[in-house]
Amino acid sequence: MIEISNVTHRFGNKRGAAAPANVLENVSFTIADGEFVSFLGPSGCGKTTMLRIIDGIILPSMGNVTIDGTHVRGPAPSRSMVFQEFNLLPWRSAEKNAEFGLELEIQKTKRADRERIAEENLSKLGLKSFGGYFPHQLSGGMKQRVGIARALSTAPKYLLMDEPFGALDPMIRELMQIELLKLLSADNRTIVFVTHSIDEAIFLSDRIFVFGARPGRILDIVPVDLPKPRWVDDEKIKASAPFVAYRQRIWRLMKDELQRGMQHAD
């Protein structure tokens, strides 16, 4: 379980710059095991920062982050990140990228096991015959599949995804959403998924945390009650009345927030 209480974060003041608004202000929530939660919001609302705070790459200026009863002081193997820009190591083949996490001392995995696990994960993601390819030889969608395989290789309890499909073209993006749900249906992983696509958040999530900007905070938490599995007849689900209603509700919320922000800027 992820427990966040009263997290406030502000980036270090650069000399001469005006005091910045808090990137996150007084954010509290809990995420239960096995949940799929999306952080949805416009750019600059602190949703990515919140994700990084959960991972432990960033420590918050104030507040508490507790995961499974332990205070977070840095990254831990129970959590894996998937990045928007993939962040694959360009000098490693797909297979070697997928093995990266397991090679590290903290994992202490034997070579044979690493190779087996990497291969299993790549083939789960439909990249069975692409293990020897280098990132520059792969399409964006394939690169992110490698990124997901790499994240899964360390068998994390929590999968943290930072706009993972944001850099992909819209059609590949929808396809990847379906494949992600299929992939995750087999296990009971907890997912935190950052996105600025309303449809993506509704389609994937159990709950959506809608973020507002300046200061970054949670405007509303929307539980999504749509039938599962959603990848079957996904086009029907996306056109269904409840789906459209969710979209309207969330868009109204975000539109108000954005317009308020623009008046502020004037």
Q: Which is nearer to another protein, 154 or 195 (CB)?
A: 154
- Greatest alpha-carbon span in the chain: 60
Q: 172 to 211, contacts with another protein by CB under 8 A?
A: none
Binding window for another protein (CB under 8 A); candidates: 41-49, 77-85, 230-238, 242-250: 77-85
Tokens of 33: 């095991």
Min CB(143)–another protein separation in Å: 12
Window contacting another protein (CB under 8 A); options: 131-139, 188-196, 214-222, 253-261 = 131-139
Closer by beta carbon to another protein, 162 or else 200:
162
Closest CA to 178 of 154, 209, 199: 199
Decide if residue 169 touches another protein (CB under 8 A): no
* Alpha-carbon distances of 99 from 19, 85, 154, 179, rounded to whole Å: 42, 19, 9, 21
Task: Give the DSSP letter of residue 45.
Answer: S
Question: Which residue, 108 or 264, is less far from another protein as judged by CB?
Answer: 108
Segment interacting with another protein, rule: CB under 8 A, options 3-11, 17-25, 70-78, 182-190: 70-78
Minimum CB distance to another protein, residue 104 (Å) = 5
Q: Which residues contact 40 (CB under 8 A, 6 or more apart)?
A: 47, 195, 196, 197, 198, 201, 208, 209, 210, 211, 250, 254
Q: In angstroms, what CA-CA distances link 161 with 50, 86, 228?
A: 12, 10, 21
Sheet strands (E) in 85-216 = 158-162, 190-195, 207-212
Long-range contacts of 224-227 (CB under 8 A, 24+ apart): 226/202
How many CB atoms within 10 Å of residue 169?
11
For another protein, the binding residue among 104, 221, 244, 245 (CB under 8 A) is: 104
212 contacts another protein (rule: CB under 8 A)? no
Regarding 131 and contact with another protein (CB under 8 A), the answer is: no
59 part of the interface to another protein, by CB under 8 A: no
Residue pair 86/144 in contact (Cβ under 8 Å)? The answer is: yes
Which region among 14-22, 133-141, 167-175, 258-266 touches another protein (by CB under 8 A)?
133-141
Taking residue 151's Cβ as centre, other Cβ atoms within 10 Å add up to: 21
Which has the closest alpha carbon to 185: 50, 34, 83? 34
Q: Is 91 in the site for another protein (CB under 8 A)?
A: yes
User: Is residue 85 within the footprint of another protein (CB under 8 A)?
Assistant: yes
Question: Which of 26, 76, 155, 247 is the binder for another protein (CB under 8 A)?
Answer: 76
In the complex, the smallest distance separating the C-beta of residue 224 from another protein, rounded to whole angstroms, is: 28
Give the binding site for another protein (CB under 8 A).
55, 57, 75-77, 80-81, 83, 85, 87, 89-91, 100-101, 103-106, 134-137, 154
